[in-house]
């Protein structure tokens, strides 16, 4: 090849290709998006994996177990509530019985207390607040003289500890005025404890007693003893 031919060849190779449709074969029409390329078979649709039924069955079984557990729990709660209500009812009944018994006991206790208070009041009324001497016995120290007599007596203090005065009266048993006082004497009963005893005596003399013996030779006289408590 000559240099010219080489130059021509170089020029030929440096030529720009003709624009589409100009002197060449027609171009194929553009394919819509997603269409398979020319000369290629369409791709087969994707194969979805077959789902297993066991997860669904397991879910149904779990739901059934959960439902059974819920129903059982509700039944237990209902039974427990009924048991609690029965227990509360029984407790209320027992409480009412206890209250009734307590009321009866309180009523009986009140009656007992009232009776005891009455007894205490009665006993307190019987408790002496001052001395209370009584005559336990009386007599003579010896025979009477021409104008005198000698009485004596014993006394018991049935009250509070204290003192009192004993009075001895000589009385007529014959003559025109039997029972009249011919002579008298008094004696102090010293401090004597409650339920304590004491003795006392004195000499009773008077002109009336002497006249009585003159008018009634060998006559007898009576004795009356009393106590003057404070």
Confidence of residue 7 (pLDDT cuts 50, 70, 90): very low
The mean per-residue pLDDT over the stretch 89-99 comes to 83
Q: Which residues contact 199 (CB under 8 A, 6 or more apart)?
A: 152, 153, 154, 155
Looking at residue 127, its pLDDT comes to: 80
For position 35, what pLDDT does the model report?
Answer: 55
CB 135 within 8 A of CB 169: no
Question: Is residue 37's pLDDT more than 70?
Answer: no
Token pair 């194929």 is found at 28
**What is the reported pLDDT for 38?**
53
Q: What mean pLDDT do residues 33-60 have?
A: 64
DSSP label at residue 141: S
When pLDDT is averaged across residues 106-131 and rounded to a whole number, the result is 83
**What confidence tier does 12 reach under pLDDT thresholds 50, 70, 90?**
very low
Question: What pLDDT does 47 receive?
Answer: 60
d(CA 113, CA 199): 44
Residue of 204, 209, 207, 205 lying closest to 220 (CA atoms): 209
Q: How many CB atoms lie within 10 A of CB 149?
A: 24
* pLDDT over threshold 70, residue 216: yes
Residue 30 pLDDT exceeds 70: no
Average pLDDT, the chain: 81
Its pTM stands at 0.49
Q: What local confidence, expressed as pLDDT, does residue 182 receive?
A: 97
pLDDT, tens digit (0-9, with 9 covering 90-100), for 81-92 = 777 788 878 888
The residue written with tokens 């304590």 in the block is 196
Q: What is the pLDDT of residues 133-166, one digit of tens each?
A: 999 999 999 999 999 999 999 999 999 999 999 9
- Residue 202, H or E segment: none
Higher pLDDT, 103 or 80: 103
Helices and strands in the chain, H and E counts: 3, 8
Q: Is residue 200 scored above 50 in pLDDT?
A: yes
DSSP string, 156-195: EE-SSSEEEEEEEEEEESSSSSTT-EEEEEEEEEEEE-TT
Residue 103, pLDDT score: 80
Q: Which residue has the higher pLDDT, 24 or 105?
A: 105
pLDDT at 75 over 60: yes
Residue with more model confidence, 92 or 225: 225
């Amino acid at each position: 090849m000559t240099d010219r031919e080489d130059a021509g060849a170089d020029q030929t190779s440096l030529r720009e290709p003709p624009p589409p449709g100009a002197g060449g074969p027609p171009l194929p029409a553009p394919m819509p998006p997603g269409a398979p390329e020319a000369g290629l078979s369409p791709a087969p649709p994707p194969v979805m994996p077959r789902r297993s039924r066991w997860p669904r069955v397991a879910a149904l079984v779990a739901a059934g177990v959960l439902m059974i557990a819920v129903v059982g729990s509700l039944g237990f709660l209902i039974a427990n509530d009924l048991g609690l209500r029965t227990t509360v009812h029984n407790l209320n009944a027992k409480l009412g019985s206890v209250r009734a018994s307590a009321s009866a006991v309180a009523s009986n206790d009140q009656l007992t207390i009232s009776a005891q208070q009455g007894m205490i009041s009665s006993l307190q009324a019987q408790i002496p607040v001052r001395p209370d001497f009584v005559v336990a016995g009386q007599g003579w120290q010896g025979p009477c003289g021409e104008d005198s007599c000698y009485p004596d007596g014993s006394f018991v203090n049935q009250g509070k500890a204290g003192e009192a005065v004993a009075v001895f009266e000589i009385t007529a048993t014959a003559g025109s005025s039997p029972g009249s006082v011919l002579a008298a004497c008094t004696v102090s009963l010293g401090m004597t404890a409650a339920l304590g005893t004491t003795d006392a005596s004195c000499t009773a003399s008077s002109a009336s007693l002497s006249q009585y013996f003159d008018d009634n030779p060998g006559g007898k006289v009576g004795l009356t003893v009393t106590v003057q408590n404070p």
